[in-house]
Amino acid sequence: MFLTTTSLRDVTVRELVTQIEAWFDDHFTVCMEVSGGELPSAMNYVGVYEPHNGWTTVVWPTYFGGLHSEVASHLSSRLRTVACSVEVYHSETWQHVVYHNGSLVDEYATDPSYLVSDLDDTRAVARRWRGNPEVVARHVGSSARGIARHYRRNRRSRSFDEWNFTELWADFGILYPVDELSVAATLALPDRWERALRPAP
């Protein structure tokens, strides 16, 4: 499974949609809200769901993972709020980042080895992605002890479950999967959008 999703606190759907469109526009790619008719495929679909417990969640296209931290930073900065974002990679690992007002608060990975290149120091990458429960708790209003328990359990588990991040999010008050929520806005990207994407000026 490849999955990327981001949730932001205390924002309206309209504010969020505007900033999603702005991020793609900055990267020279058209992302437009659509209504009625046939939904875009999962490869081109951006879904924004009705707020729940003060959190508004976005589900990104299937292979959006490499961009989720950048776009979470953008949305957090523009909307002056907290953003939590998850990438599930190939049902083998997941990474979680937290931003506040555009500044990185925390990075956590169930298996940091997936983030190591030939030029990286393995131990340094592991330290970077070990997570800081106390800092996260201050920003999301949850228990540092509970977050630490999730972090430890997912690092040590021999039977990886790609859905375990949902339990972490539940402690924050974020509901996922979003099946119980109504779709508030649907945005469509052009076919092969990832080839058209360019760095922001």
pLDDT at site 40: 85
* Arithmetic mean of pLDDT, 73-92: 96
* Arithmetic mean of pLDDT, 105-129: 87
Q: What is the pTM of this model?
A: 0.94
Instruction: Determine what percent of the chain is predicted with pLDDT higher than 90.
Output: 78
Please provide the distance, in angstroms rounded to a whole number, between the alpha carbons at the two ends of the chain: 33
Q: Hey, what amino acid is at 4?
A: T
Strand spans (E) along the chain? 3-9, 32-34, 45-49, 55-59, 82-89, 93-100, 103-109, 183-188
Could you tell me the maximum CA-CA distance found in the chain, to the nearest angstrom?
A: 50
Whether the per-residue pLDDT at 172 is higher than 70: the answer is: yes
pLDDT at site 180: 93
Q: Give the range among 1-5, 31-35, 70-74, 93-97 with minimum mean pLDDT.
A: 31-35
pLDDT at site 113: 86
Q: At what angle do helices 165-172 and 144-156 cross, to 10 degrees?
A: 180
Site of tokens 């506040």: 100
Sign of CA dihedral 126, 131, 135, 139: positive
Site of tokens 């049902």: 91
pLDDT at site 159: 67
Q: Confidence band (pLDDT; 50, 70, 90) for 153? A: confident
Whether the per-residue pLDDT at 173 is higher than 90: the answer is: yes
Q: Confidence band (pLDDT; 50, 70, 90) for 177? A: very high
Give the whole-angstrom CA distance, residue 199 versus residue 82: 24
* Arithmetic mean of pLDDT, 168-191: 96
Give the whole-angstrom CA distance, residue 199 versus residue 201: 6
* Arithmetic mean of pLDDT, 75-94: 96
Q: Confidence band (pLDDT; 50, 70, 90) for 107? A: very high
Q: Give the range among 87-91, 113-117, 141-145 with minimum mean pLDDT.
A: 113-117
Strands 93-100 and 82-89: antiparallel
Domains of the chain, residue spans: 3-195
Give the whole-angstrom CA distance, residue 62 versus residue 64: 6
Q: Give the range among 22-26, 119-123, 163-167, 172-176 with minimum mean pLDDT.
A: 119-123
Q: Hey, what amino acid is at 151?
A: Y
Considering only residues 15 and 114, tell me which one the structure prediction assigns the higher pLDDT.
Answer: 15
* Arithmetic mean of pLDDT, 48-63: 97
Count of CB atoms within 10 A of residue 174's CB?
Answer: 24
